Structure 1
Amino acid sequence: MTKKPPILWLNLAIFISTFAVAVIGVPWYGLQHGFSTASMVIAAVFWLWSGMSITAGYHRLWSHKAWQAHPSVQWLLAIGGAMAMQNSILHWCADHRVHHKHVDDNDKDPYSAGRGFWFSHIGWMLRNYQPTPDYKNVRDLQKNAIVMNQHNHYGWWVLGTNIGAPLLLGALFGDALGTLLLAGFLRLVVVHHSTFFINSLAHIWGSQPYSDQHSSRDNGVIALLTYGEGYHNFHHTFEYDYRNGIRWWHFDPTKWLIRALEKCGLASSLRRVPAGRIEAARLSMQLKSSQRLLAEHQLAAEWLHKLELEYEQLLHKMQGYYDEKQRQLQLKRAELDRSARERLAELRDAFELQQRQWHALRAQAHAVLN
């Protein structure tokens, strides 16, 4: 049998002690003394700050370079990331880039979902699976003074944000211990497991509308718990997009924050995957799901032929519409005449009609065979 790596006793002690204080100490103090309004407000602010520093900062800014941030924003996200206590930016991003490169590879993915829920959620941090950190894939981040300041002084940043700041702010409002319990311990445990759900739950629960080449899933419920990271199948398919939820109704506060910062001149170079590529991936998965169903029936050949013909026509109409739309977006408004707008409208109508025909044919095929 392969010998298990040694236990990381510091990590284990932190996870156990913070969880114990959150589930025992916080309720006890609340029943005995109550919490001030100020302590609850501070805890809420720290929860948003630290949680979204991971999603907007560690994840979308530094790991994937999906957008660029003004130095003042980077400082705020670096401070909030230390408050989230999930290792330094440099270390976190090194692990995450390996995860994307080798997703679901039990030997190379540091938190592979293939090794089970417990391992991908927290188990990978309880043993020393990587004795020597490898920062070769984050050389770009090693040139960032803010990233390296946080990395080199990470312990002090953690103590200052998780202990010092709650105690100081709590003392100012006359509830130092209560604020430490809420904004320090309870907030930290909630942020920890919210983030960990992205590695675990978002790889086993939900749908795969864009790709089945990896275990990631899209799930709106998980998005509510993870500041918008629950649209994880989209993210793993199009990892350099600054958005995870691409529809207007998708709950993705991280996307809204980045967009708001852009409006204020504090963010730039927001990267978006072309809509045509996204729709093509969705169509491909729809065809694949129908092929799986049809493969189990004798009428498969007939219906597969119909679906594949319809699929090719839809791809053609879709590509024509998005190509023309992209061309017109690159022109100045004055250069767009009435005929150009009419042509785009005609292409859009043809694409939408073909979409309806595609969905109707898929529904008919599924109904006949079921």
Structure 2
Amino acid sequence: MKPQHLETNLDISSENTQPVQKKKQIDWVNTIFLTTTPIVAIALSALYFMQNGLQWSQIALAVIFYFATGLSITGGYHRLFSHRAYKANNLVKFLYLIFGAATFQNSALKWSADHRIHHTHVDDEKDPYNINKGFWWAHIGWIFFQEKEVEPKYPKDLLNDKLVMWQHRNYLWLAVVMGVILPTVIGYFLGSALGGLALAGFGRIVFVHHCTFFINSLCHIVGTRPYTDTNTARDSAIMAVFSYGEGYHNYHHYFPVDYRNGIKWYHFDPTKWMIKTLSFVGWTSDLKKVQEKLITQAKLEMEMKKYQPAA
């Protein structure tokens, strides 16, 4: 079953989003950055705690940056720019883009292009983070071994978005300013620049990285498949807690244009709550929801498979 009303006109085909590529090669910038940031985070945090002890203001700053940057990935990069599950005004988009850059997960243009390919080619050779290549490949290895992009081709709807393209052109300095300098400066005014750099800066960067990476790895291995078994995506309530609601991954892969991942009121999905709350003041609109009968039908079909004789 593939509900026809879920078909979109998004530019998601590999023809339009896949770069012209050569053989895979090590991306030394990504490799060095992703292997050294945890070391830097641990070293700076240890130095900070030895010098200052526990300062709750610094912990609070790290938590605020954790949510501001992480929700910019889930609500912005993912549900808005990748799937167009709702619309947002320019202020919301701008905030998504500057705080999304602070995660050091690439520009929204590149992130969304890769993610659309993932959905189009999930679990096959064209899937950038194909879980069939192993946990570590899906989790982080695919970032270490990028293909040589000779002539990048990106989705037209994103190429036509002026804010997305502004962030793409200015991604590096935005990432440094928003992800490293800003938390350091705020930390200074809270009593410790080192605390801001260590906790809200590098520590938060590493933590948000792996919250995102676990969706590509663990959520294709551990959990349940209540809606479809046509791909490896799983629902995991535990992962939802660490990923701002993204853990309901089986549902998301079957109904990707729904602005919700956790569809029940009790499902932990702060991204959904944020999007819905912003709609009350008119900052988000056109929130797409899958019809309840289609959700029920998908679940019933999965239940019926349990009673079908093995081939």
TM-score (norm 1): 0.76
* 2:304 alignment counterpart: 287
| Deviations, residues 268-326 of structure 1 (Å, cap 9, x unaligned) | 000011111110000000001221xx449xxxxxxxxxxxxxxxxxxxxxxxxxxxxxx
The CA RMSD measured in Å over matched residues stands at 1.6
Deviation at 1:129, TM superposition (A): 2.6
* 1:40 alignment counterpart: 59
Q: 2:244, 2:269 within 8 Å by CA — same for their partners in 1?
A: yes
Deviation at 1:27, TM superposition (A): 2.8
Shift in CA distance, 69/210, structure 1 to aligned 2, threshold 3 Å: same
SS in 2 for 1:272: coil
* 1:171 alignment counterpart: 188
Say yes or no: does 1:128 pair with 2:153.
Answer: no
Deviation at 1:249, TM superposition (A): 1.1
Say yes or no: does 1:250 pair with 2:267.
Answer: yes
Say yes or no: does 1:58 pair with 2:77.
Answer: yes
How far apart are the structure 2 equivalents of 1:9 and 1:153? 21
Aligned partner of 2:97 among 74, 78, 88? 78
Deviation at 1:251, TM superposition (A): 0.7
| Deviations, residues 32-77 of structure 1 (Å, cap 9, x unaligned) | 3224332222111110001010000000000000000111111111
Say yes or no: does 1:109 pair with 2:127.
Answer: yes
| Deviations, residues 326-361 of structure 1 (Å, cap 9, x unaligned) | xxxxxxxxxxxxxxxxxxxxxxxxxxxxxxxxxxxx
How far apart are the structure 2 equivalents of 1:283 and 1:260? 32
How far apart are the structure 2 equivalents of 1:245 and 1:128? 32
How far apart are the structure 1 equivalents of 2:137 and 2:57? 37
Deviation at 1:238, TM superposition (A): 0.3
Deviation at 1:133, TM superposition (A): 6.2
Give the aligned residue type for 2:40: V
Say yes or no: does 1:89 pair with 2:108.
Answer: yes
Shift in CA distance, 289/23, structure 1 to aligned 2, threshold 3 Å: farther
Shift in CA distance, 71/135, structure 1 to aligned 2, threshold 3 Å: same
Shift in CA distance, 132/273, structure 1 to aligned 2, threshold 3 Å: farther
Alignment map for 1:327-346 (pairs within 5 Å): none
Shift in CA distance, 295/128, structure 1 to aligned 2, threshold 3 Å: closer
Aligned partner of 2:256 among 236, 239, 242? 239
SS in 1 for 2:282: coil
Q: 2:44, 2:194 within 8 Å by CA — same for their partners in 1?
A: no
* 2:209 alignment counterpart: 192
* 1:100 alignment counterpart: 119
Aligned partner of 1:271 among 274, 283, 288? 288
Aligned partner of 2:241 among 215, 221, 224? 224
Over the matched positions of the two proteins, sequence identity in percent amounts to 46
Give unmatched runs, 5+ long, in structure 2: 1-21
Aligned length: 290
Deviation at 1:250, TM superposition (A): 0.7
Give the aligned residue type for 1:108: K
Q: Which is greater in Rg?
A: 1
Higher share in helix = 1
| Deviations, residues 113-159 of structure 1 (Å, cap 9, x unaligned) | 111100000000001235346334x1101111110110001111011
Alignment map for 1:312-351 (pairs within 5 Å): none
* 2:87 alignment counterpart: 68
* 1:21 alignment counterpart: 40
Aligned partner of 1:10 among 24, 29, 32? 29
| More off after superposition, 167-176 vs 257-266 | 167-176
Give the aligned residue type for 2:97: A
Give the aligned residue type for 1:34: G
| Deviations, residues 226-271 of structure 1 (Å, cap 9, x unaligned) | 1100000000000000000011111111000000000121100000
Q: 1:204, 1:215 within 8 Å by CA — same for their partners in 2?
A: yes
Deviation at 1:225, TM superposition (A): 1.1
Say yes or no: does 1:154 pair with 2:177.
Answer: no
Q: 2:227, 2:250 within 8 Å by CA — same for their partners in 1?
A: yes
How far apart are the structure 2 equivalents of 1:227 and 1:87? 19
Higher relative contact order (CA 8 A, sep 6+): 2
Give unmatched runs, 5+ long, in structure 1: 297-370
* 1:305 alignment counterpart: none
